[in-house]
Chains A and B, each alone.
Chain A
């Protein structure tokens, strides 16, 4: 059984058919890339999976259960977390607080228990901090020690991207949706991100769906590539096959005049 299954998804904004009849499967432990020209519907697809938009028709099934009609926070509780294309960290909060907030939904103590600092709450808080440090240590020492207590707005761009990935991991999700994880990064940092995404799967046991424009990153990490164009799935398969597919070349470069 695939971890995530999309069945015949349709989504229109007014007269614009953003997604039409897209079906795809993501198996556990896979890294799947979704590529396509600008406006192909990649981010819309992410928004549909995470509950920001509701599909007009079709089913989104995660671990055998439907995600349709759930709000974004409920989707996250089920085990799907995302990062954003244009960073959406909690800018004025510290790095540590940023990684603690996504764990809030797992808190079992109510607000009164939290205010009274019941032993149960203190234990949970301790656990949350441990998990936060564990997730941040994925990225080496960069976000550790004194950086933990710095507000996010003093971090460098690359560190913010890393913090956002750590934040998505800390939700306790099984499936990570990374929206352009290497946008705005230099080649060295892109390479590092490539390794980190692979380590997400190998060491963290996550299943990963990536939307990306940098083809060498896509080629490096993907088990499977899915190509969207004008809201339709035009190709799927191995990276090498997909980039040589005439339909894909046409979508990116246009048709040659006869």
Chain B
């Protein structure tokens, strides 16, 4: 009860914050960053169901997103945007009749057809269904494979799906490599993504903490044992794959309408790669972690621009020194907090020494011409992301959140897995022969 109230309150607060942000000046950058976090968050959470909870490495997620993107685009494209399609690729049917608006009016549902928002909901749902359908077709034969083999097969299927829109027969619907432009953009606004994001988080957290979620995690922990305990592997794998594909399709639809265009390069393999980085950063198997990882990656990419601007060499030296000193402080902290042998070894002082050296160089030669000349580091954002990823893999391999979720019980409640003093005594009594002479006597019997 308390948890429900807290959840509703924080969702309300988030909505209020969004409302205020969208009415302030100069926040459009932040708003589009948030939109992207929500969209890619949905995709990351859905990939997390397969890669984190089910423990299967799937590399075909961009294919499902692409299907969702194209389906949403085709269904939502307004009539006046269809006419300029002068290309011979597009068939007449796709140009004139592949239109949700027309279908709805044909069914006499004019009220729905008049509202772009309602149409968008329907289009997103159909996009998800299309992706889920392809998910079953791809998943059913390939999920009997394991490990690397499955990863390669899913990658292959993902690429096939991505390249299909270019094939002449399919291009009759998809306009080939030119893609589709002019999707109504207001449907991809921050409110839409926010609401869909909340629904997806709700869905996946409910799923994770249900019997089905436990079955998925059982398969991840030990496939043979899970099967021996009555968990049908084929059914559960295909189920997870399909659900994941569905929400990947929804994310793809949202992204297409955010961009207002879609083509085969919108969802290339780097999409899956980016999602994998995000969920490994946040923690495989954790929904909170998937969202957190996505947020980190997107924020670094959007707000990391200053890293790639042109600075004087002086700034470069100072920031190099700062990084080295931070690394020194971090390694000292890690070492000192070890339980066994909390010693800082000489090699760790190398970082500190280098940092101080750089700092000295920077300060001593401050006015020199080679110090004031401009330098520019292209690609620093990606390097920064890569460094973050490396550090996480070395120091916290399970990701920022591990498999844990952010939960009210963890914030406020007591931890059930830590024994009370009474329970600790009881436990000692069970295993200590001095306290429990009965147990010791049994022991004698057994050895006799």
Is A146 touching B418 in the complex (CB atoms < 8 A)? Answer: yes
Partner of A114, one of B207, B224, B403, B439: B207
A116 to B430 Cα, complex, angstroms: 42
Is A100 touching B446 in the complex (CB atoms < 8 A)? Answer: no
| In the A-B complex, the 10 residue pairs with the closest CB atoms | A105-B230, A90-B221, A88-B225, A76-B230, A102-B229, A114-B210, A187-B446, A149-B417, A191-B446, A149-B416
Is B336 among interface residues, defined by CB-CB distance under 8 A?
Answer: no
Segment 340-354 of B: residues with Cβ below 8 Å from A: none
Is B417 touching A187 in the complex (CB atoms < 8 A)? Answer: no
What residues on B are CB-neighbors of A52 within 8 Å?
224, 228
A121 to B418 Cα, complex, angstroms: 29
Is A224 among interface residues, defined by CB-CB distance under 8 A?
Answer: no
A194 to B108 Cα, complex, angstroms: 73
Is B228 touching A101 in the complex (CB atoms < 8 A)? Answer: no
Q: How far is the CB of A216 from chain B (nearest CB, A)?
A: 9
Is A125 among interface residues, defined by CB-CB distance under 8 A?
Answer: yes
A90 to B220 Cα, complex, angstroms: 8
Is A171 among interface residues, defined by CB-CB distance under 8 A?
Answer: yes
What residues on B are CB-neighbors of A73 within 8 Å?
227-233
| Segment touching B, from A10-18, A22-30, A91-99, A230-238 | A91-99
Is A141 touching B206 in the complex (CB atoms < 8 A)? Answer: no
| Segment touching B, from A77-85, A196-204, A248-256 | A77-85
Interface residues on B, range: 35 or more
Residue of B210, B211, B231 with most chain A CB atoms under a 10 A cut-off: B211
Give the nearest-CB partner of A91 in chain B. B221
Partner of A142, one of B228, B239, B418, B430: B430
Is B446 touching A92 in the complex (CB atoms < 8 A)? Answer: no
Is B233 touching A101 in the complex (CB atoms < 8 A)? Answer: no
Is A145 touching B423 in the complex (CB atoms < 8 A)? Answer: yes
Contact pattern, B 64-90, Cβ under 8 Å of A = 1, otherwise 0? 000000000000000000000000000
Give the nearest-CB partner of A106 in chain B. B230
When A and B form their complex, what is the total count of cross-chain residue pairs whose Cβ atoms lie within 8 Å?
135
Is A190 among interface residues, defined by CB-CB distance under 8 A?
Answer: yes
Segment 393-429 of B: residues with Cβ below 8 Å from A: 403, 415-420, 423, 426
Q: How far is the CB of A141 from chain B (nearest CB, A)?
A: 7
What residues on A are CB-neighbors of B210 within 8 Å?
111, 114-115, 117, 121, 125
What residues on A are CB-neighbors of B214 within 8 Å?
93, 97, 100-101, 104
A121 to B212 Cα, complex, angstroms: 11
Give the nearest-CB partner of B419 in chain A. A146
Is B430 touching A88 in the complex (CB atoms < 8 A)? Answer: no
Is A188 touching B442 in the complex (CB atoms < 8 A)? Answer: yes
| Overall SS of chain A's interface | helix
Give the nearest-CB partner of A140 in chain B. B430
Is B230 touching A115 in the complex (CB atoms < 8 A)? Answer: no
Is A72 among interface residues, defined by CB-CB distance under 8 A?
Answer: yes
Give the nearest-CB partner of A98 in chain B. B218
Is A171 touching B446 in the complex (CB atoms < 8 A)? Answer: no
Contact pattern, A 126-149, Cβ under 8 Å of B = 1, otherwise 0? 001000000000001110011011
What residues on B are CB-neighbors of A148 within 8 Å?
416
User: What are 13 sample pairs from A and B whose C-beta atoms fall under 8 A apart?
Assistant: A71-B232, A73-B230, A81-B229, A91-B221, A91-B222, A93-B214, A93-B217, A104-B231, A105-B230, A114-B210, A171-B230, A188-B439, A190-B446
A231 to B222 Cα, complex, angstroms: 28
Which A residues contact B (CB, under 8 angstroms)?
50, 52, 71-74, 76-77, 81-82, 84, 88-94, 97, 100-107, 111, 114-117, 121, 124-125, 128, 140-142, 145-146, 148-151, 167-168, 171, 187-188, 190-192
Is B447 among interface residues, defined by CB-CB distance under 8 A?
Answer: yes
Instruction: Please judge, given known A-B contacts A104-B214, A146-B418, A188-B446, whether A84 and B203 are in contact too, CB under 8 Å.
Output: no
A187 to B224 Cα, complex, angstroms: 30
Is B231 touching A89 in the complex (CB atoms < 8 A)? Answer: no
Is B445 among interface residues, defined by CB-CB distance under 8 A?
Answer: yes
Is B228 touching A82 in the complex (CB atoms < 8 A)? Answer: yes
Is A93 touching B206 in the complex (CB atoms < 8 A)? Answer: no
What residues on A are CB-neighbors of B110 within 8 Å?
none
Q: How far is the CB of A240 from chain B (nearest CB, A)?
A: 20
A104 to B214 Cα, complex, angstroms: 8
Q: How far is the CB of B84 from chain A (nearest CB, A)?
A: 42
Q: How far is the CB of B135 from chain A (nearest CB, A)?
A: 14
Partner of B218, one of A81, A82, A90, A191: A90
Is B222 touching A90 in the complex (CB atoms < 8 A)? Answer: yes
Instruction: Please judge, given known A-B contacts A107-B211, A114-B210, whether A146 and B417 are in contact too, CB under 8 Å.
Output: yes
A73-B231, A88-B228, A151-B417 known, 16 other contacts, Cβ within 8 Å = A72-B228, A73-B228, A73-B233, A88-B222, A92-B403, A97-B217, A101-B218, A111-B239, A114-B206, A124-B211, A142-B430, A146-B417, A146-B420, A171-B230, A187-B443, A191-B446
A151 to B416 Cα, complex, angstroms: 12
Q: How far is the CB of A158 from chain B (nearest CB, A)?
A: 10
What residues on B are CB-neighbors of A187 within 8 Å?
443, 446-447
Instruction: Please judge, given known A-B contacts A94-B417, A104-B211, A187-B447, whether A141 and B228 are in contact too, CB under 8 Å.
Output: no
Is B375 among interface residues, defined by CB-CB distance under 8 A?
Answer: no
Q: How far is the CB of B123 from chain A (nearest CB, A)?
A: 22
Is A114 touching B416 in the complex (CB atoms < 8 A)? Answer: no
Is A100 touching B417 in the complex (CB atoms < 8 A)? Answer: no
Give the nearest-CB partner of B440 in chain A. A188
A121 to B419 Cα, complex, angstroms: 30
What residues on B are CB-neighbors of A114 within 8 Å?
206-207, 210-212
What residues on A are CB-neighbors of B419 within 8 Å?
145-146
What residues on B are CB-neighbors of A116 within 8 Å?
206
Instruction: Please judge, given known A-B contacts A145-B423, A188-B439, whether A102 and B221 are in contact too, CB under 8 Å.
Output: no
What residues on B are CB-neighbors of A124 within 8 Å?
211
Give the nearest-CB partner of B235 in chain A. A73
What residues on B are CB-neighbors of A107 within 8 Å?
211
